[in-house]
Chains A and B, each alone.
Chain A
């Protein structure tokens, strides 16, 4: 069964460092998303990506965040200068059409 894959599963970084989280969405999907979940809190939307551009972003997704789909298969989330409060589980999701999202297993980011 096709699935969304994410790497790394866990990354530890120092505050101020750049981090890139990678995702391989399901191959025929058209919509791509990043969500995050801070420990003990709800799943929060970060950004959606469609037709090679950001279609929607939340207020969390500030200038420190960026997304790319560099080669038609990978979908990356970059955090330029990490802060302590960026520590969370980051989930990539993709969808064929608007609607059912398929989530990856998540990348745990720990900022020290």
Chain B
């Protein structure tokens, strides 16, 4: 049973444009969400987080939006850069210190 889903396995975007990566979850008890970026043969690198008390969190070029009623979150990257090309994972957890459930990832390619 996949509690966190990323339905787009890949996405291509022109440099300078907006990248929008989507994530859906099924467990309404999830209250903390993370986005990670991963290059091949490296560990996931934390990008940005959001807790369920907020609906938006922004950090530089990265913004995460949370729609609790739709159980949906998205990561916006503006403007996209070639160095952003990587696999992006969303992850969600329920409660403090509990396991994170990861989505299957979306491979982003930013075309120069």
Contact = CB atoms under 8 A, between A and B. Distances in A.
Contacts of B36: 103
B49 A106 contact: no
B89 interface: yes
A95 B46 CA distance: 11
B43 A103 contact: yes
B102 A44 contact: yes
Interface string B1-35: 01000000000000000000000000000001010
Interface residues of A, number: 27
Contacts of B91: 43
- How many interface residues does chain B have, given as a range? 20 to 34
A50 B44 CA distance: 21
Contacts of A35: 102
A92 to B, nearest CB: 8
A42 B102 contact: yes
Interface of B: 2, 32, 34, 36, 41-46, 49, 89, 91, 93, 95-105
